[in-house]
A and B are shown apart, each in its own frame.
Chain A
Amino acid sequence: MKSKHIRGVNDLGKDGIQEILSLSDHFFEVSTRRIPKVPALRGRTIAWLFYENSTRTRLSFETAAKRLSADSMNFSVSSSSVKKGESLRDTVETVSAMGVDAIVVRHSSTGVPWLLPKWTDASIINAGDGAHEHPTQSLLDCYTIQKQLGGIEGKKIVIVGDIKHSRVARSNILAFKAMGAEIVLVAPRTLLPVDTSTWPVEISENLDESISDADVIYMLRMQLERQKEAFVPSLREYTNDFGLTLERAQKLPKHTIIMHPGPMNRGVEIASEVPELGNAVVTNQVSNGVIVRMAVLYFLLGSGAELSEDGNDNE
């Protein structure tokens, strides 16, 4: 039975991820057409509830909705009644009362997407909750790896940097693991969560050693806005030990691809020149983002997921 929501990677599991990846192949074809648009979700309404800033996630969701002919209900926190003190619940109930089929939510608090089904019948899509999950990012990352390397199973994926504050890392670990990859995390102790003993990963503090035989190097952004204390002695030292410098990037095996979820701190976790190298797929990730989010919206509103009965489970 399909889940009605995509709040976290585990709402999908391996089967769900695979279904979205194969739907993505269809939407890739659609995106190459003269008119890159299909009427699949005509008459469906999707609301964006972004309580946190976003450029690419929001833009790619909006583009995806338009290419599926869905209508969207825009909601920007800065110009809404949230500024007058309206609660999350009242906002969701208001939006829901206007008739929406799906709500895409980004919030600084962990768990918000799991609360929403109590207040609305709409399908919920998590576009990032605190430092917890960002499932659509990991789906587009899986799609990018599959397209670039022909598959994910058995690949060695090295995730480097600020794991502690990264919802991208958490979702990616779940998704890459579900798809059968080998995952290595490389970070200073201070940027790792307190307890990683239950995570299906290997942990290292030696970047050069870990990336020498990697298939994928996934650089995370130093989330300076979430860091309320000093986690590294200095950014220059961090770059030295954990940054993907031009020298490191040039030493990589030929087939290794370089990924980054953006926005990049050029010169900190990744050298300015590196995203321009032939094996960097950062812009592929962005264009795949639109395709995969079309697949996500279609998966929920077209392929029958919203028709399933386990929709309102609040585990």
Chain B
Amino acid sequence: MADSERTTTPLNGGFFVARSEIMDADGVRRALWRMSHEILEQNKGIRDIVLVGLETGGVHLARKLAINLLEIEGEEIPVGTLDVAFYRDDIGIRPVVPGNPTDLPFDLTSRVVVLVDDVLFTGRTIRAAMDAIVDFGRPAAVQLAVMIDRGHRELPIRPDYVGKNLPTRRDELVDVQEGGVWLGHLESEES
């Protein structure tokens, strides 16, 4: 399948059609480098930091950030994944099908948890993620890193580390991959 016709989650019952390229692979790589340095600067090092990638879009970004941090600081930091499906506020309103099972094989208590996601939109996923995180322990702080902040927040949530601010229309969709970021829309399967 062409890059421009990447499928999105089956939940939406359609496929993504890209209209314009927002970032290329180098852009994504540079943004991740800058965010890695910002995380270090903000937290004065990597002590007590854990990265938690949100299923499914945030997972590869969290892994990449961890590789960068290892390269900069020479120390490995724990990376986990979190699926927030069971904490969403739209269960029973629309089908909510989980991605991959959560994998958080370390204690979060007194750690600084950096949640990593691809796109920040309404903020509802992050709300669900914060609820999920406290079930695993009491972190010293929770921070948020996203590749794209596309606006339209419905909750009082703001990111700490942003790859790019991207003004969008509500009906548009943003697709974040290692190879680049595309803005487009969802085409239903029937048409």
Contact = CB atoms under 8 A, between A and B. Distances in A.
A301 B92 contact: yes
Interface string B74-98: 0000000001011100011011111
Contacts of B101: 25-26, 28-29
B26 interface: no
B86 A30 contact: yes
B45 interface: no
Contact of B102 (A23, A29, A302, A304): A29
A37 B96 CA distance: 17
B179 interface: no
Given A38-B87, A39-B86, A39-B87, A307 B136 contact: no
A302 B96 contact: yes
The main secondary structure of chain B at its interface with chain A is loop
Interface in A20-66: 23, 25-26, 28-30, 33-35, 37-41, 44
Nearest to B95: A304
B87 A307 contact: no
Contacts of A303: 95-97
Given A29-B101, A34-B135, A302 B94 contact: no
A214 B103 CA distance: 34
B103 A29 contact: yes
A206 to B, nearest CB: 42
Given A26-B101, A38-B86, A33 B136 contact: yes
Range, interface on chain A? 20 to 34
B136 to A, nearest CB: 7
B75 to A, nearest CB: 27
A307 B86 contact: no
B94 A307 contact: yes
Given A33-B136, A34-B135, A34-B137, A26 B92 contact: no
Interface in A267-315: 298, 301-304, 306-307
Nearest to A44: B92
A212 B158 CA distance: 63
A44 B92 CA distance: 9
B86 A304 contact: no
Contacts of B131: 39
B108 to A, nearest CB: 10
Contacts of B83: 26
Contacts of B96: 302-304
